[in-house]
Amino acid sequence: MKEVAIFGEAITFGFSVLRRDTQFPDILLTMSVSNAGGLADIFCRPFRQDGSEDLRQGPFISDAVWRSNHTSGADYVFISRNHTEFNAQVRAANTQSGVQLFSDIWCAIWAMSDTPASVELELDVVHETRSLVDRETDAVEAIFGECCALGGCPAWRALSEQLFGGGDGTEAPLDLCHVPGSVCDAEGHAVRINMAGWGLDCEMPVAEFKKFPRLQKLDVSHNALRGDVEDILAGLTSLRNLNEFRATDNLIDGRINSVPVCRFARRNMTVLNLERNGLIGALPDCLFDDSTTLKELHLGGNSLSSTIPDVITLNSTLEVISLEDCRLEGKVPKSLANLTKLMSLDLRQNDLTGKLDDDLFGSNVLRIVSLQGNRLTGKVPSSIAQGDIMRVVALDGNRFSKLPDEWMDGEGARLSTNLRELRLSENKLKGGFPLVLAQLPELRVLDISDNSFGGPLPAEENLFVKTWWIQMANNSFSGPIPDEWESVGIVTRTALDTGRLPFVDLSNNNLTGDVPEFILDGTNFPPGTAVVLSGNDFTCPGNVSIPPHLQGLDCRK
């Protein structure tokens, strides 16, 4: 399952687990967040069989029995077959094999930060009881010895008490088959190892990881692992089944444009995540051309000082590209239009320049585009928000000077009706108010501040139906606030289902006239609402006190 988690909106899902003989299986839910800055957690509990379940909201902190640990990158929920709640709500059902017993689990994914999270969910079901084979257990023990000296790796040591209810904090569990986040096959070989955030402080123990011949996924993010990227990837290349490697937030250095890196990327790898390390060098063609099978490439937070290779073809398998804050320069390559499977693109906080082709964003599955903090110019491409499932477009902090004509006049505009966030602040955009943006049915956040928009605000009803953040400050809008704006979602309460405090900023424009009565009436707004109107030329009735949500309003009486 792949989705985008927006703050305040639950992504709900459920599943049924069959009991074999007298036991339910162990369940591992793995959620990967593929965009930088995105944070999300999973909350689960047994499904309520009494009909009281709210299918829109799902479980949260207050009623979850199982939840993930709120880390960035990959999160895990482990549901043990021995958990009492797992066995508490058993349902009998007639099947082709006779009457069988099921346990129904109900879960929700919630974004935990303002940055939308592009998430992918995997479910592993383990019916058999298994233990890690001796050779691999010895390798785990060696990793502990090398990387956890002098009381190190407290998170790893703490697992003993969590799993077995005992331990004095001096030892750590070595059998990865029973550690949340790791998975073994039926013969006791580790196929997935998660040591993210365990406190490993050492040279990357490549020699020990090479002793896991069936390893498919390895996550050692958020540690203090050191080593040259060429040596590390050259060593891991011998693991023929390895297809995902995550090592975010470590101390790995070296050049990304090297033969070992390319050889590693060409051997059935699907995920390579080396964000926020000490990598240097130019981006090699092999990470983008037909020679790689990569689906996700994460190199953000490294000093690459490179251009983006213009070698992408229609055969590209890339679905996620995350290259934020890499000191990238030059133009966004035209071949980016060939990424028909692209779901998330993050190129923010670089030094990219030039204009974007109008048809650059042709993927029908594109969900997130983040290009803020560059020096891009010209017209915003009309294709950037056309995809049916587009959720977030962030172009703030560039030098764009024009919106698509259809966005301005509303004729033929093909903006995604599922768009949740549109950020266009700190550009050089001009013209009248882009009415079509205020009519998007699912828009939650609109930021067009710090531009050169002008003219009157549209006297239209039913604008911003679900938008709780409206930022239009530092433009040149003029005239009064229309009475029709009494029907915006913040006032009618249709924009308040996300749990966020509404915010409207019209400051530092050229607005005039009386402050509308519906704005002065504090009962129209929930507690905590902020409406900022300073820096205009409004008139206020002499006998009306300024309500709390309008504190700081300067106007003539």
Q: How many residues does the chain have?
A: 557
Tell me the pairing of strands 98-111 and 40-46.
antiparallel
Judged by average pLDDT, the poorest of 208-212, 256-260, 519-523 is 519-523
Tell me the pairing of strands 40-46 and 66-67.
antiparallel
The whole-angstrom separation of Cα 204 and Cα 6 is 35
Helix (H, G, I), strand (E, B) or coil at 437: helix
The whole-angstrom separation of Cα 137 and Cα 172 is 12
pLDDT value at position 275?
96
pLDDT digits (tens, 9 = 90+) for 115-146: 788 888 888 887 777 889 999 999 999 999 99
* pLDDT beyond 70 at 498: no
The whole-angstrom separation of Cα 472 and Cα 533 is 10
* pLDDT beyond 90 at 286: yes
Backbone angles phi, psi at 431, to 5 degrees: 110, -175
Helix (H, G, I), strand (E, B) or coil at 224: strand
User: Closest by alpha carbon to 29, among 13, 53, 8, 51?
Assistant: 13
pLDDT value at position 357?
92
User: Closest by alpha carbon to 476, among 438, 512, 517?
Assistant: 512
pLDDT digits (tens, 9 = 90+) for 347-369: 999 999 999 998 888 788 899 99
Total H helices, total E strands in the chain? 10, 37
- Alpha carbon 436 to chain centroid, angstroms: 27
If one compares 410 and 73, the residue with the highest pLDDT of the two is 410
* pLDDT beyond 60 at 396: yes
pLDDT value at position 125?
84
Any idea which residue has 């999160």 for tokens?
75
For every residue of 358-427, DSSP letters joined together read: TT----TT--EEE--SSEEEEEPPGGGG-STT--EEE--SSEEEE--HHHHH-TT----TT--EEE--SS
* pLDDT beyond 70 at 70: no
pLDDT value at position 557?
59
Structure tokens at 458: 């549209």
Instruction: Give the residues across from 227 on adjacent strands.
Output: 252
Domains 2-126 and 130-306 in one fold: no
Mean pLDDT of 483-495: 85
pLDDT digits (tens, 9 = 90+) for 196-252: 999 999 999 999 999 999 999 999 999 999 999 999 999 999 999 999 999 999 999
* pLDDT beyond 80 at 411: no
Tell me the pairing of strands 351-355 and 329-330.
parallel
**Max avg pLDDT among 73-82, 287-296, 373-382:** 373-382
The whole-angstrom separation of Cα 512 and Cα 497 is 32
- The amino acid occupying position 337 is A
CATH of domain 2-126: 2.60.120
Tell me the pairing of strands 26-33 and 11-18.
unpaired
Sign of the four-CA dihedral 292, 298, 300, 303: negative
Task: State which H helix or E strand residue 230 sits in.
Answer: helix 229-236
β-sheet with 476-479: strand ranges across: 430-431, 452-456, 476-479, 510-514, 537-539
User: Closest by alpha carbon to 222, among 251, 193, 242?
Assistant: 251
Mean pLDDT of 76-100: 80
Give the count of beta carbons closer than 10 Å to the beta carbon of residue 200: 24
Provide, for the chain, the percentages of residues in helix, strand and coil under a 3-state DSSP scheme, each rounded to the nearest 5: 15, 30, 55
**Max avg pLDDT among 28-32, 240-244, 411-415:** 240-244
Average pLDDT, the chain: 88
pLDDT value at position 524?
81
The whole-angstrom separation of Cα 72 and Cα 181 is 14
Any idea which residue has 């009706």 for tokens?
417
pLDDT value at position 75?
76
The whole-angstrom separation of Cα 242 and Cα 193 is 11
Mean pLDDT of 248-272: 93
Structure tokens at 256: 């990304």
Q: What is the largest CA-CA distance in the chain?
A: 83
User: Closest by alpha carbon to 404, among 358, 354, 460?
Assistant: 358
Mean pLDDT of 138-156: 93
* pLDDT beyond 70 at 377: yes
User: Closest by alpha carbon to 338, among 369, 317, 356, 367?
Assistant: 317
What is 130-306's CATH topology? 3.80.10
- The amino acid occupying position 53 is E
**Cβ(136)–Cβ(212) below 8 Å:** yes
pLDDT value at position 334?
93
User: Closest by alpha carbon to 283, among 303, 311, 257, 316?
Assistant: 257
Structure tokens at 168: 């004095």
For every residue of 381-397, DSSP letters joined together read: PGGGG-STT--EEE--S
pLDDT value at position 71?
57
Q: HSE-up of 208 (CA within 13 Å, CB side)?
A: 18
Per-residue pLDDT band for 397 (boundaries 50, 70, 90) equals very high
pLDDT value at position 73?
60
Sequence spans of domains, the chain: 2-126, 130-306
pLDDT digits (tens, 9 = 90+) for 304-348: 988 999 999 988 999 999 999 999 999 999 999 999 999 999 999
DSSP 333: P
For every residue of 121-185, DSSP letters joined together read: EEEEEE-S-----HHHHHHHHHHHHHH-TTT--HHHHHHHHHHHS---SS-----GGGSTT-EE-
Instruction: Give the residues across from 119 on adjacent strands.
Output: 3, 33
